[in-house]
Amino acid sequence: MASGNAIRGSRVGAGPMGEAERGESAPRLRISFWCSNGHETQPSFASDAQIPETWDCPRCGFPAGTDRENPPDPPRTEPYKTHLAYVRERRSDADGEAILAEALAKLRGEI
User: For the chain, what are the domain ranges?
Assistant: 28-65, 79-110
Report the greatest alpha carbon distance in the chain: 98
For 10-36, the pLDDT digits (tens) are: 666 666 655 666 677 789 999 999 999
Q: 83: annotated binding-site residue?
A: no
pTM for the full predicted model: 0.54
Q: Environment class of residue 70 by beta-carbon count within 10 Å: exposed (0-12), middle (13-18) or buried (19+)? A: exposed
57 annotated among ligand-binding-site residues: yes
Cα dist. 24→18, 31, 76 in Å?
Answer: 9, 21, 44
60 in a known ligand binding site = yes
Instruction: For 55-88, write each residue's pLDDT tens digit.
Output: 999 999 999 999 999 999 998 888 888 988 888 8
More confident residue, 30 or 93: 30
- Amino acid identity of residue 77, one-letter, is T
Q: Is 39 annotated as a binding residue?
A: yes
> What is the number of residues in the chain?
111
Residue 110 pLDDT greater than 80, yes or no: no
Domain 28-65 fold is Rubrerythrin, domain 2 (2.20.28)
